[in-house]
Structure 1
Amino acid sequence: MELIDFVDADDHPVARGPRGQAHRSGLYYRVAATILMVGPARVLVYRRRPTAQVFPGHHDVLVGGSVRAGESYGHAAQRELAEEFSIRPRLRKVLRIPQSSPIGPCHLAVHLAEIDHLIEQLRPDRAEIDGHAFSEIAQLLTDPPQPFTPNGGEVLRQLFAGPTPHFGAPHAP
């Protein structure tokens, strides 16, 4: 059983327990995700397996998952990329927001990674990824493939629909 930190509304740890149980205590859990960029205007879009626990069969741009107990957002993002696509790119943390999810409220930390030099190394985990492609951000904002995860769409709008965002400096996990 994978343990995660249960956190309060301000993202302070208050307990630990199994994934999917934080909401029963009125608490949040943590999620780390990364958007994989190719050039300035394209991102990796993948389709979740039809058997996925959360948003089965949906398309998404957020590669990630739950942050394990005691793990940082950055380490969780790196671990998830290694597990799901067999890569370890340099990450830039760009956003942290509270979100709703089918298994309860969470704090979502979003990272960006430029992967032009890693495209040939992508090895999707077929147990979790049903397919992937690279799409123009502008196209995803106006006409995303369906069904598309609501959180992925919201993050794309926050980061790319409007004034040029400031993404901060790259950091190590």
Structure 2
Amino acid sequence: MDELVALYAEGDLSGRVTGTAPRSAVRARNLPHAATAVLLRHVDGRVYVHRRTTTKDVYPGMHDAWAGGVVLAGEDPVEAAGRELTEELGVTGCELRPCLRFWYADDHTSYLAYVFEATYDPRTCGPVVHQPSEVAAGWWMHWDELTARLADPDWPFVPDGRAGLARYAAAQD
């Protein structure tokens, strides 16, 4: 079934919903929508990085450090972030901390990013379990290792994820 996605006013950071459209139309016409991005940080500071499946509709087969996805019609972005974290990585019980909000746009997607951080404690959040249709593999990386890899423009990392990590790092300073 084609999910109904909330459409947002392009460039407007307030999060004003302007309508809805089927996910297929959002992708085909690059309609402005909202998406969540959750950075899963282990209690020891490492970041969870994964490789997307080759069947993903945007940036297939590339690496990513964000669990996330589109905000559905009628869905609150905080609820969407929790849903996506559970769907993609199987993680539950992690508190979400809002970090920032920004617009991202390229030839493939245009969305208002609701960025969150979740602290992963294996004693309370349960195991990381990949959704087979979205995540091909995953591992923990130290922040310094991740930023070093991101400095290599040939590392196949999702472009919106690169932009999000740069903004996240700047907000932490």
- TM-score, normalisation: structure 2: 0.84
**Residues of 2 paired with 1:87 and 1:26: CA distance?**
30
Q: Is the 8 A contact 1:8 1:27 kept in 2?
A: no
Q: Deviations over 1:81-119 (max 9, x none)?
A: 111122221100101100015543110101100002357
In the alignment, does 2:17 pair up with 1:8? no
| Deviation, structure 1 residue 31 | 0.2
In the alignment, does 2:135 pair up with 1:134? no
Unpaired segments ≥5 residues, structure 1: 166-173
Give percent identity, aligned residues only.
Answer: 28
Q: Is the 8 A contact 1:23 1:105 kept in 2?
A: no
Q: 1:37 to 1:22 in 2, by over 3 A?
A: same
After TM superposition, list the pairs within 5 Å mapping 1:28-67 onto structure 2: 28-39=32-43, 41-67=45-71
Q: What is the aligned partner in structure 2 of residue 159 from structure 1?
A: 168
User: Could you tell me which of 51, 75, 79 is aligned with 2:79?
Assistant: 75
Q: 1:27 to 1:119 in 2, by over 3 A?
A: closer
Unpaired segments ≥5 residues, structure 2: none
In the alignment, does 2:105 pair up with 1:100? yes
| Deviation, structure 1 residue 58 | 0.4
Q: What is the aligned partner in structure 2 of residue 171 from structure 1?
A: none
Q: Secondary structure at the match of 2:85?
A: helix
**Residues of 1 paired with 2:120 and 2:55: CA distance?**
28
Q: 1:65 to 1:102 in 2, by over 3 A?
A: farther
In the alignment, does 2:152 pair up with 1:148? no
Q: Secondary structure at the match of 1:147?
A: coil
Q: Secondary structure at the match of 1:130?
A: strand
Q: Is the 8 A contact 2:5 2:72 kept in 1?
A: yes
**Residues of 1 paired with 2:86 and 2:98: CA distance?**
17
Count, aligned residues: 164
Q: Is the 8 A contact 2:30 2:108 kept in 1?
A: no
Q: Is the 8 A contact 1:141 1:153 kept in 2?
A: no
Where does structure 1 differ by over 6 angstroms across 4 or more consecutive aligned residues?
A: 23-26
**Residues of 2 paired with 1:44 and 1:28: CA distance?**
28
Q: Secondary structure at the match of 2:141?
A: strand
- TM-score, normalisation: structure 1: 0.84
Q: Secondary structure at the match of 1:21?
A: helix
**Residues of 2 paired with 1:17 and 1:163: CA distance?**
32
Q: Secondary structure at the match of 2:113?
A: strand
Letter in 2 for 1:149: V
| Deviation, structure 1 residue 141 | 1.3
| Deviation, structure 1 residue 51 | 1.5
